């Protein structure tokens, strides 16, 4: 029994109740630690909570969360200088030197629960933060996440249905890491082609607890749900049997949707409403530079495949990068429109700009070097400037268009962006596709919080939908 108090902090987790707090909370409470959780995307981090803590740990699953954590880390150091401060999650090891410079004692990676618990034991034994953390990724026997002390699910993003109704949404993880090495992905520097499963009974128990707490839909937050398709299907089939009225969504690579196309009807029949897929670009040269593992033709095939199987496909894009051209951007928009995907794509996806964080494999790309500057400790990224100033201007104007209309109809925002882009490129305004009104009229279920991966906005853009 450890007689100590821990404060776990999440600064942003895509509008979801943070799994990254609930999971380590279970481990620490199992050791007898008094755990308090704070989600500063939804609530103020109270001074008294900081002052009472022996251990303060920040979950940093993404770039935006890391930037938002900086002033809070400094605040913890000011109010409670004797506390041991940890940072954990994907973006912690990527920014280890910077985190230590602002007062973090321990930096943990993607499989953090066991190490965080070990730190609590060290503290109880009087050990300081000098111990070098183990480098290899452990294989953990997970505990069921403990969500007590977190804000209710009703405070988080909800699923907006095609009929205008909404559903309370939960979130869990069936696996972490990824088998693939896409150059722009923040998972790669930490997991390096490895992935780890969360045991099926743990996942199902976590889902059951969230359903009991009111969840009517579950997002599986795995980087790629089909890294382990047998594991994934075992979970969703048990999920559907236990909770037949609860729906879910997953994220799956284009190449996995093609490779495991025989599984798509089973996803649909077990309650999957939509599949998010990081398409990133429709330019084969850019896809090769990113090492995405698919082509434009593959994407077009997946659109047809998902439509045929009755699964809504939600493609995400890195629309602006050093190889974007004004004509190429117009082609992206025209293709989205022609495929009937306007309502499938959150407008912010049309403004996403390539992020190059510390440790990114994008730094290997020779073609990037003429555009990129030195690492910026303020933005925690390598800034880049497009060779054509008009492309950067277009990005700024598209971002302004999206950000100024967060609640607008997707079709209306898309049309404004398309008119702007075609005018800037000197191309004729796009004509309405013959089937556009029919194919784009039906709304697609979506979570009312933007979805970001490895190309993220500034913190000021967090509420863009």
The pLDDT profile of the chain, 465 residues, written as one tens digit per residue, is 667 999 999 999 999 999 999 999 999 999 999 999 999 999 999 999 999 999 999 999 999 999 999 999 999 999 999 999 999 999 999 999 999 999 999 999 989 999 999 999 999 887 776 555 556 788 999 999 999 999 999 999 999 998 889 999 999 999 999 999 999 999 999 899 999 999 999 999 999 999 999 999 999 999 999 999 999 999 999 999 999 999 999 999 999 999 999 999 999 999 999 999 999 999 999 999 999 999 999 999 999 999 999 999 999 999 999 999 999 999 999 999 999 999 999 999 999 999 999 999 999 999 999 999 999 999 999 999 999 999 999 999 999 999 877 667 899 999 999 999 999 999 998 876 555 544 455 678 999 875 444 444 444 444 332
Residue 154 DSSP one-character state? G
> How far does the chain reach from its first CA to its final CA, in angstroms?
45
Half-sphere exposure of 48 (CA within 13 A, CB side): 0
> How many contiguous H segments (helices) and E segments (strands) does the chain have?
17, 14
* Residue 344: Cβ-neighbour burial (10 angstroms; 0-12, 13-18, 19+): buried
The DSSP string of 400-412 is HHHHT-TTS-HHH
State whether residue 381 is helix, strand or coil: strand
Nearest 5°: CA angle at 14, between 204 and 346?
A: 110
Compute the distance between CA of residue 359 and CA of residue 350 in angstroms, rounded to an integer. 25
* Residue 289: Cβ-neighbour burial (10 angstroms; 0-12, 13-18, 19+): buried
Between the alpha carbon of residue 177 and those of residues 14, 79, 189, 226, 257, the distances in Å are: 18, 35, 10, 12, 18
CB 186 within 8 A of CB 62: yes
CB 338 within 8 A of CB 348: no
CB 346 within 8 A of CB 307: no
pLDDT score for 441: 53
Between the alpha carbon of residue 332 and those of residues 166, 344, 427, the distances in Å are: 30, 14, 14
Query: What region does 59 belong to: left with phi over 0, alpha with psi -120 to 50, or beta?
Result: beta
Nearest CA to 110 among 131, 140, 84? 140
Nearest 5°: CA angle at 348, between 343 and 353?
A: 135
Half-sphere exposure of 212 (CA within 13 A, CB side): 8
Nearest 5°: CA angle at 444, between 442 and 447?
A: 150
Which residues in 31-51 are b (16+ Cβ under 10 Å) and which e? bebebbbbbbbbeebeeebbe
Compute the distance between CA of residue 8 and CA of residue 16 in angstroms, rounded to an integer. 16
């Amino acid at each position: 029994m450890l007689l100590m108090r821990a404060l776990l902090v999440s600064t942003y987790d895509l509008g979801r109740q943070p799994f990254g707090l609930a999971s380590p909370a279970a481990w620490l409470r199992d050791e007898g630690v008094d755990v308090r959780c704070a989600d500063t995307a939804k609530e103020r981090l109270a001074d008294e909570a900081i002052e009472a803590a022996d251990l303060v740990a920040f979950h940093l699953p993404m770039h935006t969360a890391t930037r938002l954590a900086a002033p809070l880390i400094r605040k913890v150091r000011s109010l409670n200088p004797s506390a041991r401060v940890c940072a954990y999650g994907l973006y912690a090891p990527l920014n280890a030197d910077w985190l230590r410079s602002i007062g973090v004692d321990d930096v943990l990676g993607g499989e953090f629960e066991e190490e965080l618990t070990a730190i609590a034991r060290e503290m109880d034994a009087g050990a300081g933060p000098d111990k070098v953390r183990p480098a290899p990724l452990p294989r953990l026997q997970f505990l069921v996440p403990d969500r007590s002390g977190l804000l209710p699910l009703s405070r988080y993003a909800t699923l907006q249905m095609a009929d205008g109704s909404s559903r309370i949404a939960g979130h869990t993880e069936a696996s972490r890491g990824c088998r693939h090495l896409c150059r722009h992905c923040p998972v790669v520097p930490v997991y390096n082609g490895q992935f780890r499963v969360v045991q099926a009974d743990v996942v199902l128990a976590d889902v059951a607890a969230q359903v009991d707490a009111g969840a009517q839909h579950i997002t599986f937050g795995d980087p790629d749900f089909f890294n382990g398709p047998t594991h994934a299907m075992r979970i969703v089939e048990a999920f559907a049997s236990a909770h037949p009225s609860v729906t879910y969504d997953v994220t799956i690579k284009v190449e996995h949707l093609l490779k495991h196309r025989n599984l798509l009807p089973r996803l649909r029949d077990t309650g999957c409403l939509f599949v998010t897929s990081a398409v990133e670009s429709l330019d084969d040269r850019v896809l090769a530079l990113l090492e995405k593992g698919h082509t434009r033709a593959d994407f077009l095939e997946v659109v047809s495949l998902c439509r045929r199987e009755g699964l809504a496909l939600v493609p995400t894009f890195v629309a602006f990068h050093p190889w974007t051209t004004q004509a190429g951007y117009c082609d992206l928009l025209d293709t989205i429109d022609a495929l009937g995907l306007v309502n499938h794509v959150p407008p912010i996806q049309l403004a996403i700009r390539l992020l190059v964080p510390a440790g990114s494999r994008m730094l290997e790309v020779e073609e990037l070097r003429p555009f990129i500057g030195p690492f910026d400790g303020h933005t925690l990224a390598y800034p880049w400037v497009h060779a054509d100033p008009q492309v950067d201007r277009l990005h700024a104007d598209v971002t302004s268009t999206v950000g100024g209309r967060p609640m607008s109809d997707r079709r209306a925002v898309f049309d404004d962006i398309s008119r702007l882009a075609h005018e800037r490129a000197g191309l004729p305004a796009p004509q309405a596709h013959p089937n556009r009104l029919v194919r784009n009229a039906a709304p697609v279920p979506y979570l009312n919080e933007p979805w970001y991966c490895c190309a993220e906005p500034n913190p000021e853009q967090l509420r863009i939908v």
